[in-house]
Structure 1
Amino acid sequence: MNAPPLPPDNAAGLRQQVLDWFVRRQRAGWGAADEQAFQQWLQADATHGSAYAQWEQHWSAIDAVPADTIAQLRRNLAHDKAQLSAAQQTPPRAATAPAAPAAAITGLRRRWLLPSLGMAAAVVVASGTSLLAWQHWQAQPVFRQAYASQRGQQLEVQLPDGSQLRLDTATRLEVTYYRDRREVLLHEGQAVFSVQASAQRPFHVLSGPVGITVVGTRFSVRYTPGLAGSDGVRVAVEEGQVRVVRRDGAPGLALAQIADAQTLVAGQQITADAQGSLHPIQPVAAEGIAAWREHRISFVNTPLSQALAEFERYGSTGLTISDPAVAALRLSGTFDPSDTPTLRKLLPHALPVRLQQVAGGLEIRAAR
């Protein structure tokens, strides 16, 4: 559907008036006096005519909605109306224990995005599927693109709204823009996000068990589920602020049952384990939120096996470890991940190890 958007959420009152007039004009009893009142309403404010014309375009686009989608939404509506009827017939409970049906009614109001249940029912009954068309139209992506960087490559991406992404090595993500939000699904790797502010269209990053929400800021997200010792999520903020939540396995951020949440400001970072449990907020390291942008990776008391796996993300080092005691040695320092020859020279000086030529490369062994 290509109809333009209806007035924004801060014009909810105007939207209700538009829907009200639309429904009334579909009734058989509509007469000349009604039409005169409608024309007076149109002339009262320039926004009335444009808003009503936009709604008519949405109504005319109903043929593009799949029949099975309409049928399912109609079934949902019938179920909601039955719940509402039951809630209205249930006697109120004591004031100290609010009745469950009241919560159900509130949920229905939110679901149909209208301030009046009677109005919602009238719209759906009188116009058949107009509201369903609006909801379906809202859920359709306006932009969708997948991006991936190769091993050892960094990739710069400019998005349609002016936001920018920088992907580190071996990173895969998908960007989807909707009319009311922007979403990025980070499958693996790490990226820096420079987000153009838009209060009407928040920017969500979904990364494994964690979701990040921003309006406008610059931050980094790392998610490397296949890397031992680094299989969780790390979020670090350079500018602005972000909200980090555990998603509890929900397919999207908006539908998540949020079990944990933290707000980060510039200079702060947070990590989460593979299940999404958030650790305490920490200051960003001295090298910044993403040293890899300057082709640097840093280790602080990191097991050698884990450090070597990080190097392997950027390219083959030709190094292996078979001795668990050597793998457990701790490495600290800052390195260029693409400079394998320097790594080979430094390792015997930084740790009690030697490099032994074996079939297929070099093995890191304990020093004699």
Structure 2
Amino acid sequence: MNRLLPPSPDRPDLAPAREDELRDERELAGYEPTGDAVDEQAAAWLLRRRRGLGAQAEAQFQAWLSESPAHHAAFMRHQATWAELDALPAQAVERLRDGLPRALPPNPALTPPTPTTPTTTKRPTQPQRPRATAWLSAHALRGLVPQAAGAAFAVVVAAGTWLGYDQWQNRALFSQTFVTARGQLLDVTLPDGSNLQLDTATRAEVSLYRQRREVRLPQGQSAFQVQADPGRPFDVLAGPLRITVLGTRFSVRYTADAAVPGGVRVAVEEGRVKVAPASAPVDADDPLAGGAGVLLTAGQAVNADSSGHIDTVSQVSTAAFAPWRDGRIAFDNTPLSDVLAEFERYGDTHLRIADPAIARMRISGSVDARKVENFALALPRALPVVLRDAGNGEREIVPVPVLP
């Protein structure tokens, strides 16, 4: 007969706290394994050690562990499973607990005692375990170990099955990164029917899951036309912000070196869009619910700084929603330095500003992003400046000379 754990000899001089451990060893000694023996042994040792071993049992465990690399690997694998359980939230443990009766033979010890039923233990009080596994370890595990290692193994299998299901739920069905070079635009249709239009110098990291959709925008800007799916919220993570929709049209810009203060801007063309700090909690039942952040509707826009502070909501016209889709740059009372920085996202302007006073001059208009020469020719008519040859194909924007 194969034995999971060798029995310990009865010793009357042992402390009372060891009596039930000896009983466990005697019962485990009579267990005939029916599955993977090493896995069952590892599961049994794991549960025994979580309860606490005496010096003799610990020596037996160490001897078993050193017998074979397979023993060590199996034990570490089960230990990792329980470490993940310790990190699970209470709701996840409840779901696992609900599945235990289907995985284990009937056992009254699996039923937690009612508040009116006093409970005692023969062992010294153990340090409190994380709340996520308190029920499992205090009731399920103590009830299982005195029965047979097969039941103990079933608990670990049930835990592993739940964790596997959780991982399956969170595995991306589609994952791809889209990048545009300087001056390039890109139109992308996702498997869910949503459409992304990427502006120049943009990176979008797309992941579609069974219960949610996500785009990370580390740099650049994109217009989104999201296929409606109330069961799968669509999130855009841009710098400090999380932008959430269920199905609508909007644009997100995250460029730290361009015209938008702080680097983040969200504009809505149609529908509703929730804009909130990325760290803010999300209501799973209603992702667009209140709390932190703001809810934008069609014709509204908002900026945020690098810390996630959201400015006052402003109005935006349909024409100004995302003019870059038509190859144009629009600016409204924008500093000249920011206008040139926006042109530089599409290509070299060969225009330089040496005077800080000129950099602060403001300008409004809409021009073709690829026709910077037209902008340069019109600039002296809009501002009190002239262009001066600076050599090497560069031109410098300087104040209009003052006549003597």
TM-score, L = length of structure 2: 0.62
Q: Which residue of 2 aligns with 1:215?
A: 246
- RMSD of aligned alpha carbons: 3.1
Q: Which residue of 1 aligns with 2:398?
A: 365
Contact 2:257 2:341 in 1 (8 A): no
Q: Equivalences for 1:118-157 in 2 at 5 Å? A: 121=136, 124=155, 127-157=158-188
1:298 Cα offset (Å): 1.5
Q: Which residue of 2 aligns with 1:245?
A: 276
5+ long unaligned stretches in structure 1? 1-27, 29-65, 81-106
State the aligned residue count. 274
Q: Which residue of 2 aligns with 1:279?
A: 311
5+ long unaligned stretches in structure 2? 1-32, 34-73, 102-134, 141-153, 285-289
Contact 1:248 1:259 in 2 (8 A): no
Instruction: Return 227-236 or 139-148, whichever deviates more.
Output: 227-236
CA deviation map 1:199-236 (0-9, x unaligned)? 22111100000001111101000000233654421111
Q: Does 1:109 align with 2:142?
A: no
Q: The residue matched to 2:306 in structure 1 has which SS?
A: coil
1:111 to 1:305, Cα distance in 2 relative to 1, 3 A: farther
CA deviation map 1:291-311 (0-9, x unaligned)? 111222221211111111111
**Code of the aligned partner of 1:223:** Y
Q: Which residue of 2 aligns with 1:74?
A: 82
Larger radius of gyration: 2
Separation in 2, partners of 1:355, 1:367: 9
Contact 1:109 1:116 in 2 (8 A): no
**Code of the aligned partner of 2:332:** V
1:285 Cα offset (Å): 3.2
1:205 to 1:112, Cα distance in 2 relative to 1, 3 A: farther
Q: Equivalences for 1:1-368 in 2 at 5 Å? A: 71-78=79-86, 108-109=90-91, 113=95, 121=136, 124=155, 127-227=158-258, 230-248=261-279, 260-285=292-317, 287-360=319-392, 361-368=394-401
1:111 Cα offset (Å): 6.0
**Code of the aligned partner of 1:362:** R
1:76 Cα offset (Å): 3.8
1:238 Cα offset (Å): 0.9
Q: The residue matched to 1:205 in structure 2 has which SS?
A: strand
Separation in 2, partners of 1:246, 1:199: 21
TM-score, L = length of structure 1: 0.67
CA deviation map 1:265-300 (0-9, x unaligned)? 111111111111111111113523201112222212
Contact 1:247 1:259 in 2 (8 A): no
**Code of the aligned partner of 1:339:** K
